[in-house]
Amino acid sequence: MAIFEGSGVALITPMHDDFSVNYDKLEEILEEQIAEGTDAVIICGTTGEPSTLSYDEHIEVIRRSCEIVHGRIPVVAGTGSNATDSAVYMSVEAQRCGADGVLVVSPYYNKSTQRGLIRHFTEVAKAIAIPMLLYNIPGRTGVTIQPETIAYLVKHVDNIVGVKEASGNFTNILRLLAQLDGTPIDLYSGNDDQIVPIMALGGKGVISVLAGVAPRKTHELCRAMLDGDVKKAAAMQIEAEELIHQLFIDVNPIPVKTAMNLMGKKVGPLRLPLCEMEEEHVRSLKAAMKEYGIL
């Protein structure tokens, strides 16, 4: 059984003006997401600025999120690192905090071999009892988890159940599915502009930045695909195209955090080295938000 089906929001980490984590705002955002129909919460993924959180902050954000959500929808915690020991530690802590699963990115900067990736992910999975999703985002990490590697891990490591595919490489996604030989996999789109095509190949849903500002519509788009209404889902995918484009006009999560502040949600600043958007980009983001009906 999949950790979730549908729209999993890649949640931002709200900050006070002094750059400390705003836990009251975190609760407010989580409650809003649940009320709007979001199917799962992905906490401390790329959109949550985990690279600038201390270990203690990272664990506390996961713990508070699990307490607030309290089993109403699944909570998946980002626990990846370029050091295997650190990824093991964070994954064990996420399980202790009550996470329903973990999302583990391929080690960045090290540029591991595929053999090293298999050993890395296997060590993390062996340390926990909850399901684990691989996170394939070569644009961030400098290394692709090859289809053969993903297929091997899903086949041979019981609690490695799937992958967040943010490579944009449909050839590799097809190669992965062809190599599974009937082994089930929980495939999630990691790109909001590819929800429909990946779900058409059997994907379970999306881990979504768009859902941060449009949770109801993102849920409904995924629900239409799960219900077999491809025509409705395709129309919704096309309708969201310009906003999705603008949400990635600068490095994620700069635009989505900016968008939430424009919506009056007061989620605070970004931690360096991320910084505020250029005014030209803010204007184009605002225009797309207005066109989509969320501003």
Bridge partners for 164 per DSSP: 135, 188
109, 111, 152, 164: which is the annotated catalytic residue? Answer: 164
Active site residue 108: no
Is the Cβ–Cβ distance between 183 and 155 less than 8 Å? yes
Report the relative pairing of strands 132-136 and 6-10 from DSSP bridges. unpaired
Residue 281's Cβ-count burial label (10 Å; 0-12, 13-18, 19+) is middle
Whole-angstrom CA distances from 160 to 27, 78, 117, 121, 152 are: 29, 14, 13, 8, 10
SS (H, E, C) 63-119: HHHHHHHCCCCCEEEECCCCCHHHHHHHHHHHHHHCCCEEEEECCCCCCCCHHHHHH
Q: Any catalytic annotation for residue 155? A: no
Residue tagged active-site, from 25, 135, 204, 257: 135
Q: Which residues have a catalytic role annotated?
A: 135, 164
